[in-house]
Amino acid sequence: MTRPLSVALAGLGTVGSGVLSLLRDNADVVRARAGRPVVVTAVSARTRTRERSAALAGLRWFDDPLALAADPAVDVVVEVIGGSEGIARELVEAALGHGKPVVTANKALIAVHGAALAAAAERQHAQLAFEAAVAGGIPVIKALREGLAGNRIARVAGILNGTCNYILTAMREERREFADVLAEAQRLGYAEADPTVDIEGVDAAHKLAILAALAFGRPVAFSDVHIEGIRRVSQLDIAFAGELGYRIKLLGIAERADGGISARVHPAMVPAAAPLARVDGVTNAVVAEGDFVGRVVLEGAGAGAGPTASAIVADLIDLARGRLTPVWGAAADALTPLPAVPILAHDGCYYLRLMVVDRPGVIADVTAVLRDLGVSLESMLQRGRAPGEAVPVVMVTHETREEAMRAALARIAALEAVLEEPVLIRIELA
């Protein structure tokens, strides 16, 4: 087939412009791999007059993006508007309703509404592709859904947010505090003016929900993900982590546990020699563990115009070639609704940092609480003496149940000599 694949592009920001540029600059490569030309013929965006990096001459403009879904001249709709609700959701639903395939980079939409959208795609015999929704240019969706399809996946873990990874890297390398590095990240464009979705872990949780569904053959369930961000990680914790042989990373982890699936996003102490510990800056990385393949590590650019456009065009090439894959790797009726394992059932080792008044009996009071709740200590650090003043105390536990640690934390925080809310960071082998 030599007829071009006609693409409608909704959203002309950084990613949309990147898609236009890639399809034009690499038209010969795309044509060879797709078996026919892949061309954007129609576009829609909020503002027609805005100056853009990619020329729009010769393209049909639609003020109403929903009209793209009904246009008979459009073969596939690419949605790069963003957001789990509003016009992005309406467009994807409309396109699938018309039986048109959809390619999207919208992780929030797929994480929150992916089950319903997949069902709609299945009913209409339309494709829904979202390689660009997780880890930018890293082909992690294809790896889990296709490359590792013959494996039972035990665990998938990763650094899924470049903003947080940049901040934690700069805090470690430059010995700066969180607020200072965040402000710099905003100036450099690595963080949004409102960085809440990134630094509170929500963006990483959207991506983890998608990976967990693919890895374990279960319906996508964003609400099952436990979420913590990096706002409370301090330079003091970064320094103690280094002294203990760890680096702090914001990780997304999904694994089989106690008959269900544990899915959690939180800061973690990772051994300095582990693959994920060495992933710095805005780079993303994902580690998957399969029963036959063993451990697979994927690393690369997790965001930006080029990497995200690369993933979108990979999906377009699949569509041009007629390569059809179920949205979640299997038909909806073949997915297993495995139960969510709550964070309180997590077993692991913990880093606990306290700020206490330096006086006799304080450590005995803290260790008595841990003893009473069955928490065993592996090591403890206390630097310097300042009688009557605040000093940091760091404790590392042996493996214990999260429920016990939470109970201990509440009691320790109530001690008179404890001056600040304790900091608790899970230790992960990654």
Question: What single-letter amino acid sits at 382?
Answer: Q
Q: How many CA atoms lie within 13 A of 83 on its CB side?
A: 10
Which residues have a Cβ under 8 Å from the Cβ of 108 and sit 6 or more positions away? 82, 83, 84, 206
Alpha carbon 364 to its chain's center: 40
Longest dimension (CA), the chain: 82
Q: Which stretches of 247-303 are DSSP H helices?
A: none
Which residues have a Cβ under 8 Å from the Cβ of 153 and sit 6 or more positions away? 144, 215, 216, 288, 289, 290
Active site includes 249?
Answer: no
The SS3 of residue 49 is coil
CA distance 424 to 430: 18
Beta bridge partners of 424: 352
Question: What single-letter amino acid sits at 62?
Answer: F
Given a contact cutoff of 8 angstroms between Cβ atoms, the answer to whether 81 and 99 are in contact is: no
Given a contact cutoff of 8 angstroms between Cβ atoms, the answer to whether 62 and 68 are in contact is: yes
Q: Which of 100, 107, 142, 207 is catalytic?
A: 207
CA distance 137 to 122: 26
Alpha carbon 342 to its chain's center: 19
Beta bridge partners of 262: 255
Given a contact cutoff of 8 angstroms between Cβ atoms, the answer to whether 326 and 122 are in contact is: yes
CA dihedral 54, 82, 38, 123 (to 10 degrees): -160
Any idea which residues carry the catalytic annotation?
A: 207
